[in-house]
Amino acid sequence: MLKSGILHPQLVHLLASTGHLDTLVIADAGLPLPLNVERVDLAWKKNEPRLLPVLKTVLKDLVVEKAYLAEEIKTKCDPSLYKEILSVLGAIPVEYVPHPELKKMTTEARGIIRTGEFIPYPSIVLVAGCAY
């Protein structure tokens, strides 16, 4: 039994098996999930768990060299959530793409972590970096 860190076995496996330049999606509850991509579905009710705590936890363990956000997050998402996402990403470079393009990116992802976030457009595509 683990005594700290991420306890969800499928999530630990997904993070440990993600390699350099693989993409990992942290999704809101409404993002369409492709059938052929591994998914870790954490959502169990509306807004549980929220996207930000999941993002913060993933970033503690995963080296990330770039993030993609939907262009629509700037105008159609809760402004405070958008601001907090940028704050959590910190120095990680962010590129914006139209939401339909972000949805296409999910089909090539190494895996998708679905949260219970009930706000539109905060889904994030993370590009794994290298620890050395």
Active site residues: 20
The single residue listed with the structure tokens 């390699």 is: 19
Kindly state the helix (H) or strand (E) to which residue 104 belongs, with its residue range. helix 99-105
How far is Cα 34 from Cα 63, in angstroms, rounded to an integer?
A: 24
Contact (CB, 8 A) for 12 and 6 = yes
22: helix, strand or coil: coil
Q: What 3-state class would DSSP assign to 77?
A: coil
